[in-house]
Amino acid sequence: MSIELHLPDLPEIPISLGPPAARARLPWSVRLREAASAYLPLLLMLALALATWWLVKHTPLPAPPAAERPPRTEPDYEMRGFALERFGADGRLVLRIEGARMRHYPDNDLMEIDEPQIRAIAADGRVTLASARRALGNGDGSELQLLGDAAVTSTDAAGAPLSMTSEFLHAFLVLERVRTNRAVTVRIGSSQIVAAGLAYDHALRRLDLQGPMRAVFEPQGRRR
């Protein structure tokens, strides 16, 4: 048994959001949120562009390379009536420098010495003496340029007295080397040689003289 019900057709009721005047009557806070949502991407892009511009404008420029500082012409300290000593790794005295006045220049670690008196002691006990009116040397005194009445005296490999005198001698006293490109007088024992320059290396037992040369050799066994 079945029952069928027939309902009458209902009329369609149109749905409307209302006229624009109804939306205008929305609260201002709602309208503000809708506007903000619509323009938010544009505002974010504008804020990012402004932040980028500010960073570029206020980023400090790299500093220009510093100009090379000219060599210092004033000493950082000086001493009068001084004595400097240098010792080897075994505690042995290898070098002693005395002078009337010493000035030290920090830029190149240079010593300028007035009236230097130098004493170098080799490992075998031999003593080398050096003097001049003025000397220029490195910080530890191992390399000295002797200027004016320069003299270096020692003994040669055979034990004979050896002296070198010139207006300029470049002395490496710890290494026992002496060079000059100026006129020099060399005395070995009782013999004398005058040359235009020399290079002396005690370790190699070598004395190279530059010409022109003039020599006076004393016969062996003859004494003055």
109: in domain: yes
23: in domain: no
> How high does pLDDT run on average in the chain?
80
Give pLDDT, residue 96: 93
Give pLDDT, residue 7: 45
47: in domain: no
206: in domain: yes
205: in domain: yes
Top-ranked range on mean pLDDT: pick from 38-42, 109-113, 140-144, 214-218: 109-113
User: Quick check: 17 pLDDT over 50?
Assistant: no
Q: How many domains does the chain have?
A: 1
34: in domain: no
pLDDT by residue (tens digit) across 86-143? 888 888 999 999 999 999 988 888 899 999 999 999 888 889 999 999 999 888 788 8
48: in domain: no
| pLDDT band per the 50, 70, 90 thresholds, residue 195 | very high
27: in domain: no
Give pLDDT, residue 120: 92
Residue 108: domain span = 77-216
Amino acid at 173: L
Residue 113: give its domain's CATH number.
2.60.450.10
Structure tokens at 180: 């000059």
